[in-house]
Structure 1
Amino acid sequence: MDQLMAIRGFVRVVEAGSFTRAADSLDMPNATLSKQVQELEAHLGVRLLQRTTRRVTVTPEGRDYYEKTTRILRDLEDIDTSFNVARSKPRGHLRVDVGGSTARDVLVPALPGFTARYPDIRIDLGVSDRSADLISDNIDCVIRGGAPDSSSLVARHIGDAALLTCAAPAYLKQFGTPAYPEELKNGHRLVSYLSPQNGRAFPFRFERGAEKLEIKVEHRVGVNESNAHLAAAVAGLGIVQTFGYAARAALESGALVEILRAWRPPAYPFHVVYPQNRHVSQRLRVFIDWLMETLPARIAAEPEVSVGHTRKRRS
């Protein structure tokens, strides 16, 4: 038995929650991984995992062994990195999860700069507004808006996005331009962003000075994906609240118009998030450093709109 390989396999099963997902992430047959763990259990003389046809659970002995061995694996990776970092370029495979509009308007346009700087790093982008499970899905990091929701994750703040209330000119011509948030309750059609996790509509939020409002009305259309949400507004289906970077092109072209500007809510924070108990590889470290260097200005970018024959930045 290769004990180190068996330990790595066991740790991945615990993190992935199943032998199948763990074997896929390690690029090995399920049967091989299962045999490695069985040999490790025989070597230790304890049961580490309880297996059924539907799930894998960790025994108390397995949990204790996992906590001790993950520390050892991190120490080994640190030792390897200390010898390699000075004489080698970052290389390997990164799995990054990001929301739809953030991928389209922020990350992907900037990525050529990263790939040019680190040509030996291969990136797989998972693009979805649904939050991924970093541990079980073996994802290195995610880029997400809002407050981090787990103490087991490390979150680094990378920027703040303006939240704008927008509608298409044709919609405003037909239904009028509201001057106050309360007018949205009177005959206006809202296109709500639905949580990909639970399907609930996010309320429209407004703030002016010390005054804060939250508008909750029945929406005409609900969308749970950010690019389609914006497209619904451009199509004239109703009023949306969306990020400035996502609406920038539509605002600059005149396909959308910002309304209720004096009532903009506070900027929305974005973070890069990664597991707390996982070793930060050299390739992940340089990727996070690049995000911190490159993305803040892109996330905070304000649209430019035509004013006469000049272009003026909204600020």
Structure 2
Amino acid sequence: MNKLLAMEVFVQVVDAGGFTRAAENMKLPKATVSTLVQSLETTLAVKLLNRTTRHVSVTPDGAAYYERCVRILSDVRDTEESLSCTQLNPSGRLRVDAPTGLASEVIIPALPDFFARYPGIQLELGCSDRPVDLLEEGVDCAVRGGELEDSNLIARRVGTMHYITCASPAYLARHGRPAHPSELTRHRCVNYFSARTGKVFDWDFTRDGERIQVPMEGHIALNDSYAYTAAGLAGLGIVQMANFMLEPMIRAGRLVSILDDWANDPMPVHAVYPHNRHLSAKVRVFVDWIAELFPSHPCMGKSSA
């Protein structure tokens, strides 16, 4: 038995919550994953996992062994990287998840630069406005906007998103242009709701020390950035979205910015990864690259159109 491989498999089974997902993440046959964990249990003479047809859980002995395995595997990787060129030339598969709009409008257009720097990395970029479970889904790193709620993640702030309030010319021609945030309650507005909780996000406005938070009761709510933008273009109501999504449409005359003398709360952007996931060279260089990219982006470095 390859003891290090067996330990890696065991850690992945615990992280993923099952043998099937662990096998998929490691690109190994499920039978191999099961055999390696059973061999570990035989060698150690302890039961590491409780198994049922639908669920896998860690025994007390398994939990203690898991913590030791995570530390040992991390030390092994640190040693290997310190004695190799991977720190300067990282390579291999890197799974990253990012919000759809941020990935499409900011990250992907800049990727030629990333691959020119790190040609050995094979990037798998998941694009979704749904927050993923990094451990269960085998994600090395995620880019997330907003305040973080998961204490099991290590976070590095890498940028800031700024927001604009807009409407289509056709909508403004029909309903008029609000001069103050309080007038939004008399308008049709397009809401955005959390894919995780279903909560509809309020809108906020600040000017000269005055702060107004407007609870939006629009007739439509969406949870995808491109669908949300499409609703604004279709004249379904006023929208409030990150400026890197809306500024091209404002310049083209397809949307008109409103309430320009009011500021909206900026949203922090973080790169996150699990506490027990080794920060490999390829994750480190991607996070460093993102931290360099975002502040230099023409939209993410300013607050208005």
Regarding TM over 0.5, the answer is yes
Aligned residue number for residue 79 of structure 1: 79
Q: Distance in 1 between matches of 2:276 and 2:87?
A: 27
Q: Is 1:245–1:301's contact at 8 Å kept on the other side of the alignment?
A: no
CA contact (8 A) 1:145 1:269 kept: yes
Mapped to 2, the partners of 1:164 and 1:87 lie a distance apart of 40
1:302 Cα deviation after fit: 4.8
- Deviation at residue 145 of structure 1 after TM alignment: 0.5
Task: Give the C-alpha shift of residue 158 in structure 1.
Answer: 1.1
Say yes or no: does 1:65 pair with 2:65.
Answer: yes
Structure 1 residues 302 and 237 mapped into 2: Cα distance closer, same or farther (>3 Å)?
farther
SS for the counterpart of 1:97 is strand
Question: Residue type matched to 2:30 in 1?
Answer: N
Structure 1 residues 186-233: Cα deviation after superposition (integer angstroms, max 9, x where no partner): 2x1110011111222111111223222221132111111011101110
Kept in 1: contact 2:87–2:281 (CA 8 A): no
Does the aligned pair in 2 maintain the 1:90–1:121 contact within 8 Å?
yes
8 Å contact kept, 1:101–1:246: yes
TM-score w.r.t. structure 1 length?
Answer: 0.93
Classify 1:86/1:268 alpha carbon distance in 2 versus 1 (closer, same or farther; 3 Å): closer
Query: Within 2, Cα distance between the matches of 1:286 and 1:160?
Result: 20
User: What is the correspondence of 1:211-230 to structure 2 with a 5 Å cutoff?
Assistant: 211-230=210-229
Aligned length: 304
Provide structure 2 residue ranges, at least 5 long, that are not aligned to the other structure: none
Equivalent residues of 2:190, 2:220 under 8 A apart: yes
Asked if residue 31 in structure 1 is aligned to residue 22 in structure 2, the reply is: no
Task: Tell me the SS of whatever aligns to 1:73.
Answer: helix
Over residues 56-107 of structure 1, what are the superposed CA-to-partner deviations in whole Å (9 max), with x where a residue is unaligned?
1111111110001110000000000001137862110100101111011111
Which residue number in structure 2 is paired with residue 201 of structure 1?
200
1:158 aligns with 158
Distance in 2 (alpha carbons) for counterparts of 1:264 and 1:198: 26
Please give the secondary structure, in 2, of the residue aligned with 1:279.
Answer: coil
Show the counterpart of 1:285. Answer: 284
Deviation, structure 1 residue 301:
4.5
Structure 1 residue 42 displacement after superposition: 1.1
For residues 227 and 291 of structure 2, the distance between their equivalents in structure 1, rounded to whole angstroms, comes to: 28
Q: Show the counterpart of 1:9.
A: 9
Q: Which residue of 1 aligns with 2:140?
A: 140
| AA of the residue aligned to 1:231 | A
Q: Matched residues in 1 for 2:2 and 2:96: separation?
A: 30
Aligned partner letter, 1:198 = T
**Displacement of 1:167:** 0.5
Alpha-carbon distance in structure 1 between the residues aligned to 2:143 and 2:87: 30
Give the corresponding residue for 1:52. Answer: 52
1:41 alignment counterpart = 41
- Could you tell me whether the CA contact under 8 Å between 1:244 and 1:301 is conserved in 2? no
Matched residue SS, 2:93: strand
Cα distance in 1 between the residues matched to 2:151 and 2:196: 19
Task: Give the fraction of aligned pairs with identical amino acids, expressed as a percent.
Answer: 45
Q: How does 1:190-269 map to 2 (within 5 A)?
A: 190-269=189-268
Note the C-alpha offset of 1:40: 0.5
Alignment RMSD, CA only?
1.5
Give, in whole Å, the separation in 2 of the partners of 1:88 and 1:284. 13
What is the CA distance between 1:264 and its match in structure 2? 1.9
Query: What is the one-letter code of the residue matched to 1:250?
Result: M
Amino acid at match of 1:205: D
Question: How far apart in 2 are the matches of 1:289 and 1:155?
Answer: 13
Is the CA contact (8 Å cut-off) linking 2:15 and 2:135 kept in structure 1? yes
d(CA) in 1 for partners of 2:87 and 2:211?
A: 55
